[in-house]
Structure 1
Amino acid sequence: MRVLVIGSGAREHALVWKLAQSPRVNKIYAAPGNPGMTPDAERVPLGVNQLHELAEFAEKNQIDLTIVGPEAPLIEGIVDLFRRRGLPVFGPVKAGAALEGSKAFAKELMTSAAIPTAQHRTFNDYKLAKTYLEQHGAPIVVKADGNAAGKGAIVAMDMETAQDALQQMMVERIFGAAGDVVVLEDYLQGDEIGATAICNGTSFLPLALSQDHKRALDNDQGLNTGGMGVFTPLPFVDAAHSEQIFKQIIDATLHAMKDGGIDFTGVLYSNIMLTAKGPMVIEHNTRFGDPETQAFMLLLKEDILDILEFSSDKLIDSQTLWHPGSAVSLTLASGGYPGTYNSGIPITGVEEANKLENVHVFHAGTAMKDNQLVTGGGRVLSVVARGNTLQEAVDRVYDAARYISFEGMHYRKDIAHRGLEASNKH
């Protein structure tokens, strides 16, 4: 098979790395890819938003399957375009990707289908939104309706933060058209987790539950980021509770989509808060998570193609998918991230870290300059380790990180702390 992976981050690198292990794959292209993918894939100089050029490339090069990594092209309708041209592609159509592309649409769907989520109100008028905010008070969550690259949800613990967020989104339009409509929702308290499933209509294959660490600094301090690390599976969620989460949320969402005339295929990755009242949806994503995918790919035992081709007549036992134990992903970030940072800084030690057992380093924001690997983004590398226990995976990932160096590099020192606390109680 000839496979095209669209994207340039660590998520896409992890997918390329896993695809390269499939005996069914004989050629991988990555558009635009990153330097870490070079051993496994031929890089194509096409951006993720060049939809028509990507379709032409797939047609010309007889691509058997295209896998779309990031959300933006899905929201723009790349799957619809590929399907119209008879090109095999993995991901939801534009109407399905609206679950991620429009917070208001997702909220309406969940409310109508009685899927547990926070109480909310949607506004397209700044004055009305401001009045509601003043009546509601803090804490409250302010969300840009459209795609804001993972930065459009502000958890405001005080009124000043909430008012600033609302003004920035609706008046200053820092997210452009994405903030023309804003969702104001109740703040949920509890443990935030992720549930990922490969979906084919109302059939789905549940992957493991995971927990991301979104804040930049230890003890969940600092600004929100695209993700500073993740671990899977979760020792504080038992099998029965996990099954309940997938049934109440993933299964219910797929059926609600079907009732609305949308046959959802691809990945549904839901952010969920484990509250005192039970699991409640924070938001839905319609693609593989990042950094979740990096951990999943290291833990996955099966051929990734079999997983992506899952359907109701090709059932897969989710118990046989995984290597035993746990996987932990750790993000190495540029100095100043998630604020301003410099690029083009030399990186050393990646090859040495990759030589360690059950460790792999995925490139997130890197570039080549005069044959030297350099930084090229906020999140630079994703170091992933697998262990027979969560503690072993954590120790291994931090040992690997010590091999890697670049000026200003920072990372969290407490990834998986909730999981380790739960494991130590048993």
Structure 2
Amino acid sequence: MKILIVGAGGREHAIAWKISQNEKVNKIFAAPGNAYNKVIKNCENINISATDDILKFAEQEKIDLTIVGSEELLVDGIVDKFHEKGLKIFGPDKKVAMLEGSKAFAKDFMQKYGVKTAKYKSFTEKEKAIKYLEEMSYPVVIKASGLAAGKGVIICQNEKEALEALDEIMTNKIFASAGDTVVIEEFLDGVEVSILSITDSKVILPFLSAKDHKKIFEGEQGLNTGGMGVISPNPYYTKEVEEKFVRDILEPTLKGIKEEKFDFCGIIFFGLMIARGEVYLLEYNMRMGDPETQAVLPLLESDYLELIEAAIDRKLENFDIKWKNSASCCVVLAAGGYPVKYEKGNIISGLEKFENNRDAKVFFAGVKESGNNFTTNGGRVLNVVSVQDSAEKAREVAYKELEKIQFKDKYFRKDIGLIK
């Protein structure tokens, strides 16, 4: 089989790594990919990123399956265009992708089908949003409705901060057109849980739970990032929490998918909050999370390609997903200054120590091949992942192994996986 993986980060490297374990796969193309093509057998980068170029390449190369990591392309309608040409692709069409592409659309869907979520309202006019703030108690959450690379959420502690956030989003356009509509919702104080899942529109099969660490500094302080590390499974995801998630979120979501006649095979990522003894849905993502994927896929015992094919064939109800009885810890190595201003092009040393390393795996997030060297090429550079018998051991080994990697201004959080 020829597989095309669309995207450029650590998530795509993890997907390529897992897919490559299936003996049917003899060629993987990455569009545009990154330097991970140098560490995965029979993997080739294709320097394209626009939907029409990707579609043309898939036709010319007779690609058997395309897997999309990028939320932007899903919202842009890449799946629709592939289907029009009769090409096999894994992911939601443009209509369904709006569950991630528009927070306002997603919240309205949640409300319509009784998915448990925070109280909210959506606004396109700043004056009306300001008026609504008068009804809210603080803290309050203000979100850019559109895609903002995981950074479009501002928690405001008081009215002054809320008014400043509205100014930044709706007037100064710090998130560009993503902020044309804002969602204002009540703040839920609790513990977050990430649940990746797969669906064929008839059933939704959840993956192992995960806990992401979004802020740049220890103790969840500072600016939001794309994610600084993950552990799986999430220790807060108890049997009781799971039951509430299935009853109050998963089942109503599936009901909505069926009633809206959303016909797709793909990933649904549930961003949950455990608060006040209940489980709430914060958001949907319609693709694998990053860096959750890098922590969850190494725990998957089942064949990932077979799982995807079962979804495409609408046979998920017969698929029993197998998981390792282990725990994983993924620590992100970032460039100093991320998520604001950071250097690219710094030489990375020590990666050769992971070629046959049984203790830890490295996924390339922002890495470029420069001559005989690997160099930094993004804010999040590498993901170091360890799978062990316990969460404590996975954390210990991940932090020990990441010391083998060096590059200028290397930065990482030291509290990934620490549980209060």
TM-score w.r.t. the length of structure 1 is 0.94
CA distance in 1, matches of 2:137, 2:233: 36
- Structure 1 residue 244, shift from structure 2 partner: 3.4
Aligned to 2:219, the other structure's residue is in SS state helix
Instruction: Give the residue type in structure 2 aligned to 1:212.
Output: D
Instruction: Give the residue type in structure 1 aligned to 2:149.
Output: A
CA distance in 1, matches of 2:398, 2:161: 35
- Structure 1 residue 254, shift from structure 2 partner: 2.3
Query: How big is each residue's C-alpha offset from its partner over 1:151-205, in whole Å with a ceiling of 9 and x where there is no partner?
Result: 1111112333322221111111122221111110000111011111101103122
Q: Equivalent residues in 2 for 1:31-110 (5 A)?
A: 31-40=31-40, 41-47=43-49, 50-110=50-110
TM-score w.r.t. the length of structure 2 is 0.96
Q: What corresponds to 1:326 in structure 2?
A: 327
For structure 1, list consecutive stretches of 5 or more residues without a partner in the other structure.
422-426
Aligned to 2:310, the other structure's residue is in SS state coil
Q: Equivalent residues in 2 for 1:381-420 (5 A)?
A: 381-418=382-419
Q: Number of residues paired by the alignment?
A: 415
Q: What corresponds to 2:235 in structure 1?
A: 235
- Displaced runs of 4 or more, over 4 A: none
Query: How big is each residue's C-alpha offset from its partner over 1:381-419, in whole Å with a ceiling of 9 and x where there is no partner?
Result: 01111001111111111011110111111111111112x
Contact 1:137–1:159 (CA under 8 A) maintained in structure 2: no
Aligned to 1:28, the other structure's residue is in SS state strand
Q: What corresponds to 1:253 in structure 2?
A: 253
Contact 1:170–1:180 (CA under 8 A) maintained in structure 2: yes
- Structure 1 residue 281, shift from structure 2 partner: 0.7
Matched, 1:352 2:353: yes
Contact 1:202–1:255 (CA under 8 A) maintained in structure 2: no
For structure 2, list consecutive stretches of 5 or more residues without a partner in the other structure.
none
Q: Which has the larger displacement, 137-146 or 188-197?
A: 137-146
Query: How big is each residue's C-alpha offset from its partner over 1:224-246, in whole Å with a ceiling of 9 and x where there is no partner?
Result: 11000001112332335324313
- Structure 1 residue 137, shift from structure 2 partner: 4.6
- Structure 1 residue 71, shift from structure 2 partner: 0.4
Cα–Cα, structure 1 residues 128 and 30, in superposed 2: closer, same or farther, change >3 Å?
same
Q: What corresponds to 1:25 in structure 2?
A: 25
Q: Which has the larger displacement, 253-262 or 268-277?
A: 253-262
Instruction: Give the residue type in structure 2 aligned to 1:290.
Output: D
Q: What corresponds to 2:288 in structure 1?
A: 288
Q: Which has the larger displacement, 155-164 or 12-21?
A: 155-164
RMSD over aligned CA atoms reads 1.4
Instruction: Give the residue type in structure 1 aligned to 2:388.
Output: G
- Identical-residue share of aligned pairs (%): 40
Q: What corresponds to 2:122 in structure 1?
A: 122
Q: What corresponds to 1:4 in structure 2?
A: 4
Aligned to 1:309, the other structure's residue is in SS state helix
CA distance in 2, matches of 1:261, 1:143: 28
Q: Which has the larger displacement, 9-18 or 126-135?
A: 126-135
Instruction: Give the residue type in structure 2 aligned to 1:372.
Output: N
Aligned to 2:344, the other structure's residue is in SS state coil
CA distance in 2, matches of 1:7, 1:313: 27
Query: How big is each residue's C-alpha offset from its partner over 1:301-340, in whole Å with a ceiling of 9 and x where there is no partner?
Result: 121111212345352223xx22221011110010011111
CA distance in 2, matches of 1:346, 1:304: 33
Q: Say which of 306, 316, 320 aligns to 2:319.
A: 316
Q: What corresponds to 2:195 in structure 1?
A: 195
Query: How big is each residue's C-alpha offset from its partner over 1:208-266, in whole Å with a ceiling of 9 and x where there is no partner?
Result: 11110001111111111100000111233233532431343123212212212222420
Query: How big is each residue's C-alpha offset from its partner over 1:269-299, in whole Å with a ceiling of 9 and x where there is no partner?
Result: 0110001141001111000000010111211
Aligned to 1:11, the other structure's residue is in SS state helix
Contact 2:104–2:145 (CA under 8 A) maintained in structure 1: yes
CA distance in 2, matches of 1:192, 1:323: 23
CA distance in 1, matches of 2:37, 2:323: 23
